[in-house]
Structure 1
Amino acid sequence: MMFLKRWCLLPLSGLLILAIVPTVPEVMDSMSMCPNFFLEGTPPEVPGILESGTILNQNRYKTICQTYNNTRRFVTLYDTVNRIPVFSAYKYRGTGKGKRPNPPWKIEPQVYFHSLLEGKNNINMVNSRSVRYEHQASDIDYKSDSKVYNRGHLFPSSHAFDESDKVSTFTLTNIVPQAISFNNGSWGKMENCVQCVMKKYCTDNNEVIEGFVVTGAKPSNNNILNERINIPEILWTAFCCYSSKVNKWLASAHWGDNIAEESKSKYLQTKTLQQLNQRLRSGEPRFEVFPRKECPKYETVTEYYPEINAKDKDCHCPNPPTTTTTAVPSTTAVPSTTAITERRKVSPS
């Protein structure tokens, strides 16, 4: 397959050279340094931006293998013009104990070389300063209009595995301006529900939790925060995993308009992958959040919500609708999850 081109962060072994010879970050032609954040290493199809694994405008869109404390945590496709991510992708591995951290907000030094000390030779995200960066958002961009929008995580810290992973999500390349009541309302409840589903059902045959999540933002045409940051009109997310508990692949999707919510009881409707693909489709080229055939495109996981709510008081999934599937077109072949399961190689993460 073809892989994303990316601005690569130096491997640790490369740091040994820095003391001898001045270097700059190596530009790689693939995502071979961080392949584990997509299901089987296959990124989404985003028409006009990312097609067949190739970034069409490599000057505008940058792939960031998000690195904190010399460890790669997740991956982001970043739009340097709108100064928001197209999407962030991560592997859900369960969550350890610990509260939401409150670290300094960070930036990606290889998207913008602010200084020699922070930029060219730094493999890690660094703290944002009180300046405006040309190709990415800065901390002060979000401080000027806190009454309407706050910082919406695409990879939420609540889904992160440990404390270091949680801290790594506080980078401005993983953030979009999000309506506060939407972020704290239906979107937050959806994140809770999806986490409960993955924690209970996304386990392989070795009882290791593993779920793949892609969360993105659809930019608006002319809604701009502080004349710099695009305020997306829609936020979307989807997950896919194999479940040894029910012996099949599971997937669902959600999206919501990035506007203020009047009702605190609102829930986002759980949708199929196919419904999300159609919602984000632009013209003839298809949008495909999970291009691989393992993920069921016409099913959701709403049938499991009652059991999840009954067994975990911290889970608040909505009541399921009367149906949990989307009719499969007669011309479309849906792969057998049983056959896929048999050839799935399951190993601990």
Structure 2
Amino acid sequence: MQSLAALCFLVLAHLPPLRGDVVQSFQDVPDCLEFFYQGKVPEWGAATPGAARLCQRFRNSYHFATLYDTHHRIAVYSAYLFQTSNGGGREKRWFVEPQLVNQSWGAEMRDGYWLGQDNPGVYLGERQALNEDYTHSGFDRGHLNPNGHHPVPSRNATFTLTNVVPQNPKLNQNAWRIYESELTDLFNGQCTQAYVLVGAIPSSDNWIIKNNIKRVNIPDYLWNAYCCLDNNGRPIHSGGGAARNTEQNHVDRHTLSGLREFLSQYTNSPVGELFFNNCGA
């Protein structure tokens, strides 16, 4: 019996430590860093006040990474690796990040409804958006990392409220949806791997308001950047897009340098590289 206990201790002692998914630095979690080309985390958004770095964990695995603005309660960006979808329906639940409520809580995203039921009297929405914020708001829960760019279970993991922003319904259901579909065709047709960043630029003072409280910032723009690799891991294509979050319903295509110039209008800090070596050979 003592031998068995000693063996268990040795096995546990040599297991890697279980990390929560709210981390100090993406570089601290190798499995999370894999969503960035060559492990290069963008400088863009790093200085955002109150930013939280989320390694999005679902079913005991990491599926993508999000830099989350806890003040505006929207993501700065989500970073992911494109995966060919295997179909499957839309997730019916909307998840929240427990560790944005209490750092000692579990590392997995949780259904916001049941997390609230399990913790009566605890307010979940101080540092993140809740499902009820979007109800009757007139805005879609617009995915940054789109569910259609993944198979199950990564597809399910995109249904976390830390990965969505208030998106104009016309844009979400038309031009932006078509743009995501065109990227699907590009990635499936030309890329062995595709690294993608999708972000939002917050408005100066446009919010979903509930009970006279500013709850979720309505971003002015959505943007996308991608880096496409061949089967030898060499960059072969890159680009991006940006759209006003209005009924204009139009996506402007950009080169990576053009997108960096676009983003530079909304920061006082250098934009820096979005991908390692600007996704160059």
Question: What is the TM-score normalised by the length of structure 1?
Answer: 0.66
Structure 1 pair 26/170, CA: closer, same or farther in 2 (3 Å)? closer
CA distance in 2, matches of 1:238, 1:144: 31
> What is the distance in 1 between the residues matched to 2:161 and 2:143?
9
For residue 182 of structure 2, give the secondary structure of its aligned residue in structure 1: helix
The alignment's C-alpha RMSD in Å is: 2.5
Question: What are the within-5 Å matches in structure 2 for residues 1-349 of structure 1?
Answer: 14=17, 28-33=24-29, 34-46=32-44, 49-50=45-46, 55=47, 57=49, 60-96=50-86, 98-113=87-102, 120-129=104-113, 133-145=125-137, 148-160=138-150, 162-203=151-192, 210-226=193-209, 227-244=214-231, 249-261=236-248, 268-282=251-265, 285-288=269-272, 290-293=274-277, 295-296=279-280, 340=281
- Classify 1:25/1:159 alpha carbon distance in 2 versus 1 (closer, same or farther; 3 Å): closer
- The structure with higher relative contact order (CA 8 Å, sep 6+) is 2
Change (3 A) 1:212 1:133: same
1:208-256 CA distances to partner (integer Å, 9 max, x unpaired)?
Answer: xx110000000000100122100000000010022359x7521011000
State the 4+ residue runs in structure 1 displaced beyond 6 angstroms. 23-26
Are the aligned partners of 1:238 and 1:289 in contact in 2 as well (CA < 8 Å)?
Answer: no
Distance 1:290 1:144, change over 3 A: same
Cα distance 1:81–1:56, how it changes in 2: closer, same or farther (>3 A)?
A: closer
1:286 CA drift (Å): 2.5
Identity value in percent: 30
CA distance in 2, matches of 1:257, 1:290: 20
> Secondary structure of the equivalent of 1:31?
helix
Q: Secondary structure at the match of 1:95?
A: coil
Where is the helix percentage greater, Structure 1 or Structure 2?
Answer: 2
Preserved CA contact (<8 Å) 1:106 1:125: yes
Paired positions, count: 251
Residue 285 of structure 1: CA displacement?
3.3
| Residues 37 and 275, structure 2, Cα contact 8 Å, conserved in 1 | no
Residues 36, 275 of structure 2: 8 Å contact kept? no
Counterpart contact for 1:158–1:166, Cα < 8 Å: yes
Q: Structure 2: any 5+ residue segments left out of the alignment?
A: 1-14, 117-122
Structure 1 gap segments, 5+ residues each: 1-11, 16-22, 114-118, 204-209, 297-339, 341-349
Alignment CA distance shift 1:276-1:100 (3 Å):
farther
- The Cα offsets for residues 140-179 of structure 1, whole Å up to 9 and x where unpaired, read as 101131xx3110000000001x211111000000010000
For 1:179, give the aligned amino acid.
Answer: N
Q: Which amino acid is 1:259 matched to?
A: T
Deviation at 1:31, TM superposition (A): 2.5
Following TM superposition, by how much is the alpha carbon of 1:123 offset from its aligned partner in structure 2, in angstroms?
Answer: 1.6
Are 1:79 and 1:86, in contact at CA under 8 Å, matched by a contact in 2? yes
Q: Distance in 2 between matches of 1:267 and 1:99?
A: 28
The aligned amino acid for 2:100 is V
- The answer to whether the 8 A contact 1:214-1:289 is kept is no
Q: Distance in 1 between matches of 2:208 and 2:268?
A: 31
Preserved contact between residue 227 and residue 235 of structure 2 (Cα < 8 Å) = no
Instruction: In structure 2, give the amino acid aligned to 1:135.
Output: R
Change (3 A) 1:168 1:26: closer
Q: 1:26 to 1:84 in 2, by over 3 A?
A: closer
Contact 1:76/1:87 (CA < 8 Å) preserved in 2? yes
